[in-house]
Amino acid sequence: MESNDKLEQLLKQMYAKEAFHEEDIDTSDIVDEEWAKFEAEYFGNEKEEVKSGKFSLLKIAALFIGVLMLSGISYAAIQLIGNRVDGVHESPTQESQMTTPRQQTGAQEILADSTQVDPVVFEDAELKTILSEIATFYQIEPVYKKEATKHVRLYFTWDKKQTIDDIIETFNKFERFHITRENQELIVE
């Protein structure tokens, strides 16, 4: 309490001198000293505890990041070792075949390809639209005997893995038209 009284007296002197415009008193040393006493009395070692608490959080964060990095490096090393067979690193091989662009039909290309091919669904589409896409795929030409047959509307699911003959057989189940194949032409009657 004695330090509070000194601080009060000092503040009264400062206000009094300021009121009478006297010269400034250098009070920085006294204020710093009193502030240090006040901190020690009321805060004690809490300030140091706060600093050490922050420091320990930084240590924990650094430790966590270090463990994550080591885990990642370990995982990568395991993956690299797992890709090796009998001490020899396997490299992907690429097989190629020499074919001309027109040598394979569309269905053969799909069967040769190892990826999954989803069926094509035509909803309320004209026969002309459906057959032109199929004919392009199998590299054949559709020929229509009647103009009205082009505009017949169908719901049709086309599986590209099927042969052209299977597709013709499916279309011939419809009663409104009949399809035959002659060489590289689809005749629609």
pLDDT digits (tens, 9 = 90+) for 70-128: 999 999 888 888 776 445 544 444 444 444 444 445 555 555 555 677 889 998 899 99
**Band of the pLDDT at 149, cuts 50, 70, 90?**
confident
pLDDT of residue 11: 78
Give the length of the chain. Answer: 189
127 burial level (CB within 10 Å; 0-12, 13-18, 19+): buried
Burial pattern 22-48, b for ≥16 Cβ within 10 A else e, equals eeeeeeeeeeeebeeeeeeeeeeeeee
- Which residues on neighbouring strands pair with residue 125, listed in sequence order? 154
Right CATH number for 106-188 from 3.55.50.30, 3.40.50.1000, 2.40.30.30, 3.40.630.30? 3.55.50.30
List pLDDT tens digits, range 20-78. Answer: 655 556 667 777 888 888 888 877 765 555 555 566 888 889 999 999 999 999 998 88
pLDDT of residue 179: 92
Here the tokens at position 174 are 């419809």
Give φ, ψ of 37 to 5 degrees: -65, -45
Would you say 141 and 167 are in contact if contact means Cβ atoms under 8 Å apart? no
pLDDT at position 169 over 70: yes
pLDDT of residue 87: 52
**Helices marked H in the chain — which ranges?**
2-19, 28-42, 46-82, 106-112, 127-138, 164-171
The 8-class DSSP code of residue 177 comes to -
14 burial level (CB within 10 Å; 0-12, 13-18, 19+): middle
Q: Where are the domains of the chain?
A: 2-76, 106-188
pLDDT of residue 99: 45
**Closest by Cα among 118, 144, 119 to 129:** 144
Place of tokens 């689809």: 186
pLDDT of residue 57: 85
| pTM of structure | 0.41
pLDDT of residue 86: 46
Would you say 38 and 31 are in contact if contact means Cβ atoms under 8 Å apart? no
